[in-house]
């Protein structure tokens, strides 16, 4: 019998995502000036206020207030009427030095034996459902909000948009797990005040359906465009007026959107957030590494869908174990346990090896902190950071290295494909 599956996304202006982006901007600045920095930084945003807290071990000094303000202004909170703007909000820093009790388990004489920054389990997932090997409902939710943000910045076709928004997509699947159609789309977007509320609601719904959705469809391949039928149920700002939003409407915290950040509820999640953590924290680095494994394995043809789990003990380099689930879609004559053993032989999952393989000690993290950490475009860009004495320092960095299909040939050889 056909079934429905739903995923959601939130925009860069959502309070939790503001917090994530500030935390990751701090990570980037620490790594830009001291690649060996150890950082765990949490951010809280509320009406007119930003609070930074966490632990840092670094040889550099940062103007954390200025970094936070730059992020807030870039997102679009630049007006006093939002009750939260980058130029006037208060920024309180409660960042202090990392515990030496934790550090002694991570830093070792031999870098290759660097221990995991914490215990825990991390998951990576991939599916042939989309070209970027991501679940379709989440991919569409991200696309809707990225396009909505583009419309807001263009300020031409739609002039009333404010930064905070959410989207949700429900897809009908057949018994054999193939998307059939989009059943429902939910979009809630913050907006300027209107004099007439019924007119406002009608205008926003018309613009979302007739301007935003066609721009999203235009980016899709023909088979996915066909999922947009005239039977879609649209819920546009279903509660009505949405003028009060952002941190004035809801307090935001780092790490509260971990399902948005990963696979939209498909696969699994180990529970650890990513943003604000340097790559010695396996919550982040091993989640990227398992995504890299799952994507390359599916792309190589080992299975149509794959979940990979890895687990660690704090201070110990070698993982506790690697688990693989192909959901019955395996294309090789091996059990999932045998596949996992081959994964262990191909990929070195010690924390230092992951950092080196995926180039994680570079300032690459602010770009991950909105619209998902997975399924993004691998590219090389130049980023510029201001040194504490006001000079510009440029870096050429490679983003989303865990999305590269650079192990496909190795996997095919190992599995005889």
Count of C-beta atoms within a 10 Å radius of residue 304: 17
Q: Is 242 annotated as a binding residue?
A: yes
> Is 383 annotated as contributing to ligand binding?
no
Q: Are strands 90-97 and 49-57 parallel, antiparallel or unpaired?
A: parallel
Q: Is 295 annotated as a binding residue?
A: no
Q: Is 98 annotated as a binding residue?
A: yes
Residue 256, annotated as binding a ligand: yes
Give φ, ψ of 415 to 5 degrees.
Answer: -100, 0
Rounded distance between C-alpha atoms, residue 277 and residue 258, angstroms = 13
Pairing of strands 161-173, 3-10: antiparallel
Indicate the DSSP class of residue 210. Answer: I
The reply to whether 8 sits in an annotated binding site is no
175 labeled binding residue: no
Question: Is the distance from CB of 248 to CB of 163 less than 8 angstroms?
Answer: no
Q: Is 55 annotated as a binding residue?
A: yes
Q: What is the C-alpha to C-alpha distance for residues 18 and 24, in angstroms, rounded to an integer?
A: 10
* 142 in a labelled binding site: no
Crossing angle, helix 408-415 and helix 336-346, to 10 degrees? Answer: 130
Q: Is 273 annotated as a binding residue?
A: yes
Q: Using an 8 Å Cβ cutoff, are 55 and 82 in contact?
A: no
Residue at token pair 């007439």:
196
Q: Is 42 annotated as a binding residue?
A: yes
20 is in an annotated binding site: no
Q: Is 94 annotated as a binding residue?
A: no
Stretch (H or E) spanning 270:
none
Residue 240: both structure tokens together: 């009505």
Q: What distance, in Å, lies between the first and last C-alpha atoms of the chain?
A: 33
Q: Establish whether 235 is an annotated binding residue.
A: no
- Are 116 and 255 in contact by the 8 Å Cβ rule? The answer is no
Q: Has 164 been labeled as part of a binding site?
A: yes
Closest to 43 in 3D by CA, of 71, 65, 18: 18
Which positions make up the binding site for Mg(2+)? Answer: 16
Which positions make up the binding site? Answer: 14, 16, 42, 55, 98, 164-166, 241-242, 250, 256-257, 273, 277, 281
Which positions make up the binding site for K(+)? Answer: 42
Which positions make up the binding site for L-methionine? Answer: 55, 98, 250, 281
Which positions make up the binding site for ATP? Answer: 14, 164-166, 241-242, 250, 256-257, 273, 277
């Amino acid at each position: 019998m056909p079934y429905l599956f739903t995923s959601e996304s939130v925009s860069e202006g959502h309070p939790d995502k503001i917090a994530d982006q500030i935390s990751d901007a701090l990570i980037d600045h620490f790594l830009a000036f001291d690649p060996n920095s150890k950082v765990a930084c949490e951010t809280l945003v509320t009406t007119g206020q930003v609070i930074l807290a966490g632990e840092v071990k670094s040889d550099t000094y940062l103007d954390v207030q200025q970094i936070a303000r730059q992020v807030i202004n870039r997102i679009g909170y630049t007006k006093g009427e939002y009750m939260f703007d980058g130029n006037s909000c208060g920024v309180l820093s409660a960042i202090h030095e990392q515990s030496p009790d934790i550090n002694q388990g991570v830093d070792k004489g031999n870098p290759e034996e660097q221990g995991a920054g914490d215990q825990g389990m991390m998951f990576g997932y991939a599916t042939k459902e989309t070209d970027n090997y991501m679940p379709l409902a989440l991919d569409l939710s991200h696309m809707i909000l990225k396009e909505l943000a583009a419309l807001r910045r263009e300020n031409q076709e739609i002039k009333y948009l404010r930064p905070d928004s959410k989207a949700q997509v429900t897809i009908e699947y057949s018994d054999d797990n193939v998307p059939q159609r989009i059943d429902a789309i939910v979009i809630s977007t913050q907006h300027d005040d209107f004099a007439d509320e019924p007119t406002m609601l009608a205008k926003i719904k018309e613009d979302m359906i007739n301007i935003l959705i066609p721009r999203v469809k235009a980016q899709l391949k023909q088979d996915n465009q066909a999922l947009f039928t005239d039977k879609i149920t649209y819920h546009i700002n279903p509660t009505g007026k949405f003028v009060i939003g952002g941190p004035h409407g809801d307090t935001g915290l780092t790490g509260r959107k971990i399902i948005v950040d990963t696979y939209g509820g498909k696969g699994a999640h180990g529970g650890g957030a990513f943003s604000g953590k340097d790559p010695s924290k396996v919550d982040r680095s091993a989640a990227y590494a398992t995504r890299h494994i799952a994507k390359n394995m599916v792309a190589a043809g080992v299975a149509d869908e794959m979940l990979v789990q890895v687990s660690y003990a704090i201070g110990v380099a070698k993982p506790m174990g690697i688990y693989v689930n192909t959901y019955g879609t395996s294309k090789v004559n091996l059990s999932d346990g045998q596949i996992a053993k081959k994964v262990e032989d191909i990929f070195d999952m010690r924390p230092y090896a992951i950092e080196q393989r995926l180039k994680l000690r570079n300032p690459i993290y602010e770009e991950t902190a909105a619209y998902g950490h997975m399924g993004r475009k691998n590219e090389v860009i130049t980023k510029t950071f201001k040194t504490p004495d006001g000079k510009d320092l440029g870096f050429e960095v490679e983003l989303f290295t865990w999305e590269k299909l650079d192990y496909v040939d190795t996997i095919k050889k190992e599995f005889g494909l």
